[in-house]
Chains A and B, each alone.
Chain A
Amino acid sequence: MTDNVNEGTPVKIVAITAGVSDPSTTRMLSDRIAQKVTDLLRAQGREAIVTTVDLAPMAGEIAQTLVTTYPGERVQAAIDVIAEADALIVSTPVYKAGVSGLFKSFIDILDNDLIIATPTILAATAGTSRHAMVVDEQMRGLFAYLRALPVPTSLFAAPEDWGASALTDRIARAATELVALVQADVRTAMTASSWDQYQHQFAGNAKRAARSVGDIDFSSELMRMAAGGASRPKRDASGA
């Protein structure tokens, strides 16, 4: 049994929220989840720092990043914060039976390896409970693609949920699941030795992205070819 090396360092929780009105119910839901996660961690002796990445104020920059590939300053700052996150809370309003375009646009510009095995709570709000499956049917697949680690309980709030204690219970359940994954440091356990087996981009935004010569595996097939090697083992040229 090894000690959790992170014990004593605050847990960095990043809440990405795509709510647009002020106050936004999506932001309210996100804040409630963050509060519950923080409370549970504190009860277990861990401090938490919550950083909220509010997408609405940088909607223009997000759209520009989509079409120019390169993020502007605010978007880059948001990506940097997410790269450092120990856990994520992501929340979006449901529009036209799906996650908001703003939310999806932001997720689309993230590096594929930015949040690998990062424990994540998925949450959405909607004007009607008919949209309840959006979290499981759209967000879960999206975060599976990113190899994030969504907790089992999805959170969804339609207007009637705001008056029901069941929402509070579900928030507690999702928060408990998230804290369990964070406290067990599941991400490190999953990626410590297998990080290189995921696809990465040189000098990308992921915390562990290769940035210099020391980070590169020169024994790969492609690197062998780059150093003049044949693309497959060459037979003895003498024909022997």
Chain B
Amino acid sequence: MQFGIFSIGDIARDPLTGRTPSEAERIQNIVRIAQKADEVGLDVFALGEHHNPPFVPSSPVAILSHVAALTKNIVLSTAVTLITTNDPVRIAEEYAMLQHLAKGRLDLMIGRGNTVPVYPWFGQDIRQGVPLALENYNLLHRLWREDVVDWEGSFRTPLQGFTATPRPLDDVPPFVWHGSIRTVEIAEQAAYYGNGYFANHILAPNFHFKPLVDFYRERYEFYGHGTAQQAIVGLGGQVFIAKNSQDAVTQFRPYFESYPLFGGTPLEVYMERTPLSVGSPQEVIEKTLTFQEGFGDYQRQLFNVDLGGLPIEQVLEQIELLGTEVVPVLRKELEGRRAPGVPDAPTHASLVRAKYGDAEPRQPAPRQHRGDNVIGASPYLDNDPNQAVSYPSVH
């Protein structure tokens, strides 16, 4: 079971001091948050992608590659990478590069995002959001698995004899989670490929997304990747922890109440009805355990701890408490509960083992440059030199 934190990288005014951090400050703080998560032994740090103020992470790849250099063990991920408005060719190349630099400590979560104007900013049409997400991932999946791709679809120019570079580390693509909270087709796509399914379980009533998670599990089994129980499920959560529960509520209340996302719902109502945990480590542990009771054994739990202008010192303290008091207990408790045969979330190491066993992983090395910058159907020394390129017809 993996535990980690995910951030949308929002910048908000601190309601207690009235001070709003600059972008420069928030960018540095995101790095500190990731480093702290690594130090206290959390498993995952995931960062959102946004292209509008007050959010800062427009380029999670850039931030995460910097974080990769400063951390040791933590797996870096995204929450989410926009599969709709990013060209899948760019995603394939940028995240493969990041995967190399992070030495395999990378997976990514793809999703449609929630900001309507982003679509036109990147030349896309939100009315095509679902087919765009499906087609783009279908292409991304191939770009990471086939050295040479001939492809055509509805939303971008055809590819002829295209090779996304670099090839993934050890020729093993980063594991992909599909994040979705309402679209059954996205759950189906996750199941079809045997990828992970992440339900961001915040901002909605407890267990609201159970029908979608169950759907994914059942289809995962249908496609022969394992039993429904073995499907790879991740959940979002949100916590604010203090040594005792009253302090937690008192300290968190102004941040909760000043944040528009919560729609003016009273904190107590929100704590009761949604997965938000505000309280002592024990209370947070107990609430998180109910997730397993509701959704079944799952592989990844991400917490949001830095929303709404919480000062960096307090965010770091949250991560400290998660790492020292909450997660160790959850780890032990959930391991004990876990049904036999339920796997961990795939990591680069486990995927390499699954692909190669004890054999050496493939390390693609390109053929000699021919002078035209196009290598054709056999770009790597170990490719079949007789393989033909097939070109999509022009119409």
Contacts and interface: CB of A to CB of B under 8 A. Distances in A.
Interface in A158-184: none
A68 interface: yes
Contacts of B141: 228
A67 B265 CA distance: 9
B153 A230 contact: yes
A202 B203 contact: no
B131 interface: yes
A180 B218 CA distance: 43
Nearest to B132: A231
A230 B152 CA distance: 8
Nearest to B204: A70
A223 B188 contact: yes
Nearest to A204: B182
Contacts of B189: 225-227
Nearest to B134: A225
B393 A202 contact: no
Nearest to B188: A226
A226 B390 contact: no
B361 interface: no
Given A202-B182, A237-B390, A226 B211 contact: no
B: interface residue count bin: 35 or more
Residue from the set A210, A212, A216, A231 with the largest chain B CB neighbour count within 10 Å: A231
A: interface residue count bin: 20 to 34
B273 A212 contact: no
Contacts of A226: 134, 185-186, 188-189, 192
Contacts of A67: 263-264
Given A202-B184, A222-B134, A212 B215 contact: yes
Contact of B188 (A70, A221, A227): A227
Nearest to B209: A203
Interface string A224-240: 01111111101101110
A103 to B, nearest CB: 20
A68 B185 contact: no
A129 interface: no
Residue from the set B131, B141, B211, B269 with the largest chain A CB neighbour count within 10 Å: B211
A110 B165 CA distance: 48
B283 to A, nearest CB: 22
B262 interface: yes
A64 B131 contact: no
A89 B274 CA distance: 33
Nearest to B221: A213
B135 interface: yes
Contacts of A211: 211
B208 interface: yes
A232 B141 CA distance: 18
Given A67-B263, A68-B262, A231 B184 contact: no
A201 B269 CA distance: 26
A72 interface: yes
Interface string B259-280: 0001111000100011000000
B392 to A, nearest CB: 8
B211 A202 contact: yes
B219 to A, nearest CB: 7
Contact of A68 (B153, B193, B263): B263
A68 B265 contact: yes
B332 to A, nearest CB: 33
Given A213-B219, A235-B393, A64 B185 contact: no
A202 B212 contact: yes
B211 A225 contact: no
A64 B264 contact: yes
B184 A216 contact: yes
18 contacts: A64-B263, A67-B264, A202-B183, A212-B211, A212-B218, A213-B215, A213-B222, A225-B138, A225-B185, A226-B185, A226-B186, A227-B192, A228-B141, A230-B135, A231-B154, A232-B154, A234-B152, A237-B390
Which 4 A/B pairs are nearest by Cβ-Cβ distance?
A: A67-B263, A203-B211, A68-B263, A226-B188
Given A212-B211, A226-B186, 17 more contacts: A64-B263, A64-B264, A69-B204, A72-B273, A201-B182, A202-B183, A203-B211, A203-B212, A212-B218, A213-B219, A221-B131, A227-B192, A230-B135, A230-B153, A231-B135, A231-B155, A235-B392
